């Protein structure tokens, strides 16, 4: 299907015009926020809000607008809504893990290289594992390099929470975000790290 934008604002946004993107977000954002109403379970309301979700959704839109394809009227709203739903899913997933697993779901509070190796173990989960032939120094170098390619907020949350071992509330204070937003960012940053390390095909490999 040939892309049919609602108007040239979408095309300008796709081409990198931040003013055009801001116009779209101001137009559609409140509608997407309204869709989130009632979707946050009551037990997480004290740590996660619609504003947290929309803040991250707007950031995702800014980074990913080049991948948006305007296939017709309402396409931008549908795209932004899908980003918001993904952020909600990520936040609830990480909050649930924290509640169930506690310290088992995060890097042990150790310094230096060991914390990086613990991060690899955490990213590996139950379906992947560090390849047997990867040397310690290679693993550390790969994770360090992968971190440099993350968006700033993703890199900061991994550094503060996973590598330095700060509590979520303290990380939130330092980053100016709520506890729920920190868990949402952490989930997204872990996904990005898995993608980058997995693509390399060296450090995270599927079990046979």
**125 falls within a domain:** yes
Alpha carbons 197 and 199: distance in angstroms, whole number: 6
Element (H, E) at 132: none
Six-digit token pair at 99? 């509640």
How much of the chain exceeds pLDDT 90, in percent?
32
For residue 172, being part of any structural domain is answered with: yes
Using the 3D structure, point to which of 76, 101, 126 is the last residue of a domain.
101
Q: Where is 182: in which H helix or E strand? A: helix 179-200
- Please, which contacts does 103-110 make with residues 24 or more away whose CB atoms are closer than 8 Å? 106/161, 106/162, 106/165, 107/162, 107/163, 107/165, 108/165, 109/165, 110/165
The pLDDT of residue 110: 42
State whether 95 and 15 are in the same domain: yes
Higher pLDDT, 133 or 142: 142
Residue after which a domain boundary falls, among 68, 101, 134: 101
Q: Is the dihedral of CA 173, 179, 184, 190 positive or negative?
A: positive
DSSP letter (8 states) at residue 127: T
Backbone angles phi, psi at 52, to 5 degrees: -60, -45
Q: How far is Cα 188 from Cα 55, in angstroms, rounded to an integer?
A: 14
Q: Locate 15 and state its tokens.
A: 């081409």
Is 1 a member of any domain?
no
Per-residue pLDDT averaged across 131-151, rounded? Answer: 74
Within 10 angstroms of residue 7's Cβ, the number of other Cβ atoms is 12
Retrieve residue 165's tokens.
């071992």
What is the model's pLDDT at position 163?
85
Tell which of 69, 101, 133 closes a domain: 101
Report residue 159: phi and psi, to 5°.
-65, -45
Q: What is the pTM of this model?
A: 0.65
pLDDT tens-digit series, residues 64-80? 999 999 888 899 999 99
**Stronger pLDDT, 102 or 21, i.e. the higher one:** 21
Number of domains, the chain: 2
Which of the four pLDDT bands, split at 50, 70 and 90, describes residue 34?
very high
Residue span of the structural domain in which 194 resides: 106-206
Phi, psi of 194 (to 5 degrees): -60, -45
Question: Using an 8 Å Cβ cutoff, are 86 and 32 in contact?
Answer: no
Residue 123 resides in a domain: yes
């Amino acid at each position: 299907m040939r892309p049919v934008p609602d108007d040239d604002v979408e095309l300008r946004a796709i081409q990198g015009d931040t003013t055009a993107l801001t116009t779209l977000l101001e137009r559609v954002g409140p509608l997407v926020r309204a869709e989130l109403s009632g979707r946050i379970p009551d037990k997480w309301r004290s740590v996660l809000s619609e504003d947290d979700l929309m803040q991250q959704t707007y950031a995702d839109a800014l980074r990913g607008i080049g991948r948006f394809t305007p296939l017709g009227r309402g396409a931008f709203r549908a795209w932004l809504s899908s980003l918001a739903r993904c952020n909600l899913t990520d936040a609830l997933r990480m909050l649930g893990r924290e509640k169930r697993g506690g310290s088992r779901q995060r890097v042990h509070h150790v310094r230096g290289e060991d914390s990086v190796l613990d991060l690899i173990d955490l990213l590996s989960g139950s379906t992947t594992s560090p390849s047997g032939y990867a040397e310690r120094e290679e693993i550390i170098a790969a994770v360090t390099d992968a971190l440099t390619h993350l968006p700033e907020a993703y890199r900061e949350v991994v550094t503060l929470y996973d590598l330095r071992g700060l509590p979520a509330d303290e990380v939130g204070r330092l980053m100016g975000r709520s506890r729920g937003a920190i868990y949402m960012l952490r989930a997204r940053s872990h996904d990005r790290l898995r993608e980058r390390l997995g693509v390399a095909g060296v450090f995270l490999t599927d079990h046979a």
